[in-house]
Every structure is written in C-alpha cells, then in structure tokens.
Amino acid sequence: MPHPDFGRVGILHGGGGFAQGLPGAIHHRAIRKVLRKRFGIEQPFCSIGVSVGIFNSWDENSADIFTKYFDNTTSVYKWSSVVEEPIERILKSIPSPLFRHHESAREWWRDWSNYRKTRYKNRKEFFADMRKLASYLWHIVAGISLPLPLDRSPSPGELASAVELLISELKSYGLDISKIQGPFDLAPLMSSLEKIIDADAILKNQTSTTLMLTRSGKHEHVFAYGATLPVETLAKLEKRCQIHWVQTASEFFLAGKACVSLPPAFPPVKINGGIYWDVGDKNPFPAEYLMDAGCDTIFCFVKDYWNACSAYNPETDDFTQRQLETAEMSISTIFMDRYERVTERAEREGKKVYVITSKLPPPDTQILKTTPEATKYTFRVETEAINKWIKDNLNIDPADD
C-alpha cells in the first residue's frame, strides 16, 4: 500500500565511478534506515541503477564494495584478452637477462652467454634477434618528436607516429584491431562481486522492483528483477525502452557488468544475443523511469554536476582515467537537461523529487580507484552531510535513532 506521506517511494542510484559510488552508498543506507524506522517503509516500490549506481541498487550495505575493491585499479579492471595476449607474446620474446640487474660487466656477459647457448642454435640467430629488438626500440624512440626525457606532456600529434609503430608491432604479434571494442575488461571486479553478492537469493526473495539501465546502440534497455509491475505501468515503460526480465544469476551479473562498461574504455557485454553498454554518458538522470513506474516520492543519489570538477592529473593518471574524465564533461550537460525535464514533470504531476548529491571528492579519489585516506574522509564528510540533509528536509534527527 502507498504510504500516506510518501506514496510509492522510488530510488535512483546515479553513476560517477568511485567518487559517487561510495557517497551514494552512504546516503542510501541512511535514507533507508530512516524510512524503515520512522515511517515503516521496508522497501522502495521501485529502484533504478545507472552505471556504478547499479551496485548500490543491489545491496543496502554496498559501501563494502567500494571500500574493498576500489583501492587498486588491478582489482577493478585488466587488459582485454584481445590486447593482453599479443602484449604477453612481446614481453615473452624479450630476452630475460634484460630484466635482471647486474653488478658487473662479467656477470652481465655470463648471463647473456648462457641465455644465448640455451635459447639459440648459433650466434647468428641470437644477434639477428638482438638487432630486431634494438631496431624496434630505436624506431619507437625516434618516432617521438620531442627531446628526451620528456619535460612536458606530449600532444596527440607528437606521439602519433610512436603509437602507430607500437600498434604495428602488436599486430605482428597477433593483435586484431577490428576486434578491439574496448581495451580493458572489468573481469577482476565482477569476479569479486560474484563471490560476495548472492544473486540467486536476491532474485528469489526481493519484493520490490529493480531496474538496471543499459543501452544497445542508440536505444535504452532495462534488465529488471523483483516484483512485476502492473500491466499499465509496464506498457508505459515499454514505450521508453525494451525490458528484459532477469531469470538467472548469470544474467544478473552480466547485466551489472553492462551497466558499468562505459565506452570507449570498456567493450560491450553480450547477453542472450544482444550487446549492451553503460548508459550513464547518455542518460545520467533516468528519474522519468520511476515516474512512469508510478512512484510518487523519488530519492535521487547523484553526483553534484552543478559543482563537479575533474580530479584528473595528466602527470599521474592512466589512459582509462583520462578517457572516463573526458566523458564526464559531456555527461554534465546531459544531466542538466534531464534534471530540468524531470523537475518540470514532477511539478505538473504533483510528485516529489529529492536530489541528494555528494560532496566534492578529495584529490586522491578518481573514477576507478581511491586511497584509504580518501575513503575515511568520504565516510566522515558524507555521513555528516546526509544526516544534515535528513534533518533539514525530513525534520528528523538521525542522532535520535
């Protein structure tokens, strides 16, 4: 039954990487606690997750995901197999003595001599490989039209020839450019989540409806689970997107992976013959889905796009971070347009939309990684912020609970 004060409650979990994921988890847990203890609302009527917000839609205590698995990028993503395999072949082709520190020239020559004798039939083969390796390294260095060592960040044009040479070399070791739809793979993160999230129990026991928003090409798709919505509500939603009802744990995790696979860094995810991506760069504020579902009061946990600024550091951040931060700039504009449309509709239909934003993250917080210090800071600042928000907007002091 709808609550006398809130009606049907909806929750929107927005994207924005770790910088939004952890604050969103903290805010979500605090709001759910108040709704449960003060108003008797055990579950929202409907929730929607977009991008990294999908993890917060899975579990009320999802803060653990962000504190345990975002401290190092290697626990989040790796090279995709299309890129990783030729790189491994290149590394394996480089003589192992190159990687070892030698205390003297005699020791260095001994290692190289032993390597040559065990690896090659004769000196001719050995020196042919050494010339090939030296030539390759020389061409790469020569292709960079800058004084070395670099004392500034090179422009894309200045590094173009070096990149072309590198790609050419990778292709000779088996790299198929046509197969690269994203150089990185979220397998490490998803493998960890499959161990701590009981998808079977969620699919069996959840009494509310959760929508996982993705896209395929230009079209938005929802992977839904939990309670089935009324026929008239489904008809309204199906005018906005195609709905796929999740049946298995495998589909659950694949849909989750698709939700956070933001191009061009990550490839699409194949699910039952279709391919799906993160929709956060096209629709970062899908509150209208919850309106269509019949929600009267909607709590939106989103990034503060009004005051957002990039924490990207060109001297220390990697390629993935650079790509994701660039995408964030265009997402801000799209968010503003969506927000204006949602607020106008809410006013027309008499719905209440609460937008709860995160504070600006500390400098050492990035899209896909953080530090223990930043995590501790985020818990303190965001807990204080959401408690103040609850007191100011719901006239409740969380300290009394």
pLDDT confidence band for 10 (50 / 70 / 90): very high
Band the pLDDT of 51: cuts 50, 70, 90: very high
Q: What are phi and psi of 28, to 5 degrees?
A: -60, -45
Comparing 118-127, 200-209, 318-327, the range with the smallest average pLDDT is: 318-327
Q: What is the per-residue pLDDT for 211?
A: 98
Task: Tell me the Cα Rg of the chain.
Answer: 26
Share of the chain above pLDDT 70, in %: 69
Look at the alpha carbons of 16, 21, 27, 32 in this order and tell me if their dihedral is positive or negative. positive
State the Cα–Cα distance between residues 159 and 208, nearest whole angstrom: 52
The reported pLDDT for the residue numbered 337 is: 94
Residue 33 has pLDDT above 70, yes or no: yes
Q: Where are the beta strands (DSSP E) in 30-110?
A: 46-50, 78-79
Kindly state whether residue 1 falls inside one of the protein's structural domains: no
Residue 391 has pLDDT above 80, yes or no: yes
Whether 43 maps to a domain, the answer reads yes
Mean pLDDT on 89-94: 60
Our measurement of the distance from residue 381's CA atom to the centroid of its chain's CA atoms, rounded to an integer in Å, reads 23
What CATH number is attached to the domain comprising 211? 3.40.1090
Q: Is residue 279 part of a domain?
A: yes
In terms of Cα–Cα distance, which of 18, 3, 37, 1 is closest to 375? 18
Residue ranges of E strands in 242-375: 242-245, 269-271, 274-278, 297-302, 352-357
| Angstrom distance (rounded) from CA 285 to CA 346 | 14
195/343 same-domain check: yes
Q: Do both 222 and 366 map to the same domain? A: yes
Clarify whether residues 289 and 355 are in a common domain: yes
What distance lies between CA 59 and its chain's CA centroid?
A: 17
Q: Which is more confidently placed, 342 or 183?
A: 342
- What is the overall mean pLDDT for the chain? 80
Q: Does any domain span residue 164? A: yes
In a domain, 150, yes or no: yes
Beta bridge pairs of residue 242 = 221
Residues 279 and 198 in one domain: yes
Q: What pTM does this model have?
A: 0.75
**224 and 335 both lie in a single domain:** yes
For residue 54, name the pLDDT band (cuts at 50, 70, 90).
Answer: very high
In this model, does residue 56 exceed pLDDT 90?
A: yes
**d(C-alpha 156, C-alpha 366), whole Å:** 23
Report pLDDT digits (tens) over 302-311: 999 888 655 5
What are the tens digits of pLDDT across the range 179-189? 556 677 888 88
Residue 234 and residue 151 share a domain: no
Predicted local confidence at residue 91, as pLDDT: 58
Average of per-residue pLDDT across 135-140? 54
Asked if residues 47 and 211 have their Cβ atoms less than 8 Å apart, the reply is yes
Residue 157, pLDDT > 60, answer: no
- Give the list of residues 6+ apart from residue 72 with CB closer than 8 angstroms, or none: 369
Residue span of the structural domain in which 150 resides: 80-178
Question: Between 95 and 202, where is the model more confident?
Answer: 202
CB of 80 closer than 8 Å to CB of 319: no
Total domains, the chain: 2
Q: How many CB atoms lie within 10 A of CB 273?
A: 5
Query: Using 50, 70 and 90 to split pLDDT, how confident is the model at 149?
Result: very low
- The span from the CA of 254 to the CA of 315, in Å, is 34
Same domain, residue pair 168 and 189: no
- What number is the average pLDDT over the span 196-205? 94
| pLDDT the model gives residue 390 | 96
CB 67 within 8 A of CB 372: no
- Residues 140, 237, single domain; the answer is no
222 and 313 part of one domain:
yes
Asked if 57 and 136 sit in the same domain, the reply is: no
Q: Are residues 194 and 327 in the same domain?
A: yes
**Helices (H) and strands (E) in the chain — how many of each?**
14, 11
Same domain, residue pair 318 and 298: yes
Burial of 214 (0-12, 13-18, 19+ CB in 10 A): buried
| Helix 105-119 vs helix 123-142: crossing angle, to nearest 10 | 110
Distance CA 79, CA 83 (A): 6
- 2 assigned to some structural domain: no
